[in-house]
């Protein structure tokens, strides 16, 4: 039996009452965190443009575009909200799977829930937890790491389809077809990162839209491949040459939910940068470092995060916001110069800061073979100043389940994201949305949450 069939069976039989308490709490965190990322991402390059385009395309008014308002077709709303949610690279990650899960699943689930109408909080939590589980399990099964693929959209098509199918109440056969239709669309590449292109963020929107479309097509009776994961031409054979580990796809399926292993981001940039930011912030505060006293900065890297340090000229002098989001030298320089790394650092104006750029050009990467591991690599930063040299090594970055952001931390992040939205979100709407997500299992209609944030 293909793992897609096993996953479909699990999606059908699993409800809110089957979820461990830690999975429920992590899911609520992820929903609020993703909504916050969408709010702040609305003001990022490409946010307004994709929202306007989807609204121009219109369709039946059924699902809400956050911040920019209005209701359009569910597939178009998922596209707009998914793309905005990934714009700042501020959304969750599964550090071991190397995937952002919520940004494809949550927009797809909300868009579908609004189309269906009157979807209660418990059913919605189950749908999101199951969708995240599908995407993360698929990422964990991939042996080669990201390679040229971006796993967020690649497997996000499947996670979004799973969540949408659950919200819609599809039966087993149609859920299997939804996953197969997701496979017919699945894609996502890292060339967008290399070229500093806005399609990096758009790909998450494609996956959210594709997941909703897959479930809607399956509902209509359109069939998809049954053996979409492990078939002779399934995704692991065709896209990865058969190099995968099947165990994570079904081990403890229905008992362990990967949503509980998500990391949440305290800084709006690639998760790979976070251990280095933690290290640089610690050094700046512990030793009262001043930018003008810094002579040289060394960072320990390995082959996994090499692309976040090279080409050095680009990483030290970002051409675009996307370049900055994926630059260890730039992020370390921000942390040392400002003792914080915030949304404004990843704007067109922010990446022109002369103090930060001067520090970034003092960064020298150094290969550290012992730092290799599949999960998020550690961060090593050494700063040489006029008065001495200082070093900091971070093994577990802030935001990881072993070094977690609390729900209070997520709430504070959400409030900050709301303040940075492209259009003002009334403070009482922000407060009410936080309360509704915190008590999501008691809500009779989750559509009210996105309505507050339109």
| Domain residue limits, the chain | 3-266+403-452, 271-394
Single out the residue of 9, 28, 13 nearest to residue 260, CA to CA: 28
Q: Where are the alpha helices (DSSP H) in 18-99?
A: 21-41, 47-57, 74-86
Provide CB contacts within 8 A for 348, sequence distance 6+.
45, 321
88/41 Cα distance (integer angstroms): 6
User: Is the CB of residue 449 less than 8 Å from the CB of residue 39?
Assistant: no
Report pLDDT for 124: 98
Would you tell me how many other CB atoms lie within 10 Å of the CB of residue 245? 12
Please state which CATH number belongs to domain 271-394: 3.30.1330.120
User: Is the CB of residue 344 less than 8 Å from the CB of residue 356?
Assistant: no
159/130 Cα distance (integer angstroms): 8
Please name the CATH architecture into which domain 3-266+403-452 falls: Orthogonal Bundle (1.10)
pTM of structure:
0.95
Provide CB contacts within 8 A for 278, sequence distance 6+.
379, 394, 397, 398
384/269 Cα distance (integer angstroms): 25
Report pLDDT for 374: 63
Report pLDDT for 305: 87
Single out the residue of 221, 108, 207, 223 nearest to residue 166, CA to CA: 108
SS3 content of the chain, % helix, strand, coil (to 5): 55, 10, 35
Residue that is written with structure tokens 């994570």 in the block: 248
132/260 Cα distance (integer angstroms): 10
Would you tell me how many other CB atoms lie within 10 Å of the CB of residue 19? 22
* Local mean pLDDT, 10-residue blocks, the chain (454 residues): 98 98 98 98 97 95 98 98 97 95 98 98 98 98 81 98 98 98 96 92 98 98 98 96 96 98 97 97 96 96 90 96 95 97 96 97 91 77 95 95 96 98 97 98 98 96
């Amino acid at each position: 039996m293909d793992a897609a069939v096993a996953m479909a069976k699990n999606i059908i039989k699993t409800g809110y009452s089957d979820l461990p308490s830690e999975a429920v709490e992590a899911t609520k965190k992820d929903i609020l965190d993703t909504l916050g990322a969408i709010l702040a991402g609305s003001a990022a390059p490409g946010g307004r443009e994709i929202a306007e385009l989807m609204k121009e395309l219109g369709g039946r008014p059924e699902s809400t575009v956050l911040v920019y308002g209005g209701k359009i077709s569910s597939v178009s709303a998922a596209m707009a909200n998914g793309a905005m949610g990934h714009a700042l690279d501020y959304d969750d990650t599964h550090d071991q799977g190397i995937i952002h899960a919520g940004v494809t699943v949550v927009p797809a689930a909300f868009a579908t829930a609004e189309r269906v109408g009157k979807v209660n909080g418990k059913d919605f939590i189950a749908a999101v937890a199951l969708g995240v589980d599908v995407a993360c399990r698929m990422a964990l099964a991939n042996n080669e790491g990201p390679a040229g693929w971006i796993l967020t959209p690649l497997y996000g098509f499947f996670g979004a389809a799973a969540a949408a199918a659950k919200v819609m109440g599809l039966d087993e056969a149609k859920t299997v077809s939804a996953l197969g239709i997701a496979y017919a669309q699945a894609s996502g590449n890292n060339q967008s990162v290399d070229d500093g292109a806005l399609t990096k963020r758009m790909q998450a929107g494609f996956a959210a839209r594709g997941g909703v479309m897959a479930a809607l097509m399956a509902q209509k009776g359109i069939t998809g491949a049954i053996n979409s994961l492990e078939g002779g031409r399934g995704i692991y054979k065709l896209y990865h040459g058969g190099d995968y580990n099947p165990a994570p796809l079904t081990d403890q399926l229905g008992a362990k939910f990967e949503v509980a292993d998500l990391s949440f981001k305290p800084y709006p940039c690639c998760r790979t940068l976070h251990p280095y930011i933690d290290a640089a912030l610690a050094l700046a505060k512990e030793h009262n470092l001043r930018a003008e006293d810094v002579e040289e900065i060394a960072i320990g890297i390995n082959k996994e995060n090499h692309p976040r340090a090279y080409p050095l000229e680009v990483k030290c002098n970002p051409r675009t916001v996307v370049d900055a989001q994926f630059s260890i030298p730039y992020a370390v320089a921000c942390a040392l110069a400002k003792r914080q790394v915030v949304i404004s650092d990843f704007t067109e104006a922010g990446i022109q800061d002369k103090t930060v750029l001067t520090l970034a050009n003092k960064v020298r990467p150094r290969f550290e073979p012992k730092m290799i591991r599949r999960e998020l690599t550690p961060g090593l930063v050494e700063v040489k100043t006029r008065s001495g040299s200082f070093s900091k090594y971070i093994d577990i970055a802030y935001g990881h389940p072993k070094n977690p952001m609390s729900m209070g931390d997520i709430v504070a992040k959400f409030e900050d994201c709301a303040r940075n939205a492209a259009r003002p979100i009334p403070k009482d709407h922000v407060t009410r949305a936080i309360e509704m997500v915190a008590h999501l299992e008691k809500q009779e209609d989750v559509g009210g949450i996105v309505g507050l944030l339109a």
